[in-house]
Amino acid sequence: AHGEPMDRTVTLTFDDGFRNAVQLAYPIMRKLNLKGCLFVIAGPVDKDQLLWTDKIDVVCRWHEGRGLELQLPDGLLRFRLKNNHAVDEAIKTIKRRLRGLPDAQGWHCFKPLEELFAKVDPGFVPEDFRLARLSELRGLDPQVMEVGNHTMSHPQLAQVGDVSSLRWALWAAQAGVVWWVGCPVRDFCYPAGDYNAEVINEVK
């Protein structure tokens, strides 16, 4: 409308720092001269860990055809994972309920799922859940794909509670990502879109 070029007007964003974004999207972006940002969760980088949300997926799918129980502060959740639809519903319910808890309480309730995840055959874990390695992040051309801050552990920031934990989630991740990529990191993404005025001020 104003006669201005449309080149590189759209930015592509990729949450969580998955390896498939580096392996699949990045080469196409280079070829087509696209620009994007990979928002990385700093804590699990180079530790062969999965995100807590993906561990829930794996545990529920591993238990398909069986039952699963999870104790929450307001009672016991029981799931009959008789088919794929039941598994999908269980995954959504567990994630929603854990996200609704204060951060420390949510991690406490997640521990039984962590224990169940440890018993899953590693070969059962989908490759799409694997996170990019440090060497892959350092190899990204920031003119094609920048690396952004997505906190240390993907908490519900508005639920964190105390300022010191909130600052650690933000600042430690920022320091780590800046050190890894060797250049300023200007972009931040709120995990699950969760924030309040206090969180916004700390991000600023």
Q: What is the pLDDT of residues 33-61, one digit of tens each?
A: 999 999 999 999 988 889 999 999 999 99
Q: What pLDDT was estimated at residue 88?
A: 97
At 149, which helix (H) or strand (E)?
strand 145-149
Q: What pLDDT was estimated at residue 160?
A: 87
- Do 41 and 137 touch, CB atoms closer than 8 A? no
**Residue whose tokens read 């799409």:** 128
Tokens read off for 40: 């990385």
Over residues 112-163, the pLDDT tens digits come to 999 999 999 999 999 999 999 999 999 999 999 999 999 999 988 998 878 9
At 40, which helix (H) or strand (E)?
strand 35-40
Query: Residue 56: which residues within 8 A CB-CB, separation 6 or more?
Result: 91, 94, 95, 98, 113
Q: Alpha-carbon distance 27 to 24, whole Å?
A: 6
- Res 109 pLDDT > 80: yes
Q: What is the mean pLDDT of the chain?
A: 92
- Do 149 and 174 touch, CB atoms closer than 8 A? yes
Q: What pLDDT was estimated at residue 123?
A: 94
Average pLDDT over residues 92-104: 89
Tokens read off for 58: 């794996």
With bands split at pLDDT 50, 70 and 90, how would you rate the model's confidence at 74?
confident
Average pLDDT over residues 67-84: 92
With bands split at pLDDT 50, 70 and 90, how would you rate the model's confidence at 8?
low
pTM reported for the whole predicted model: 0.85
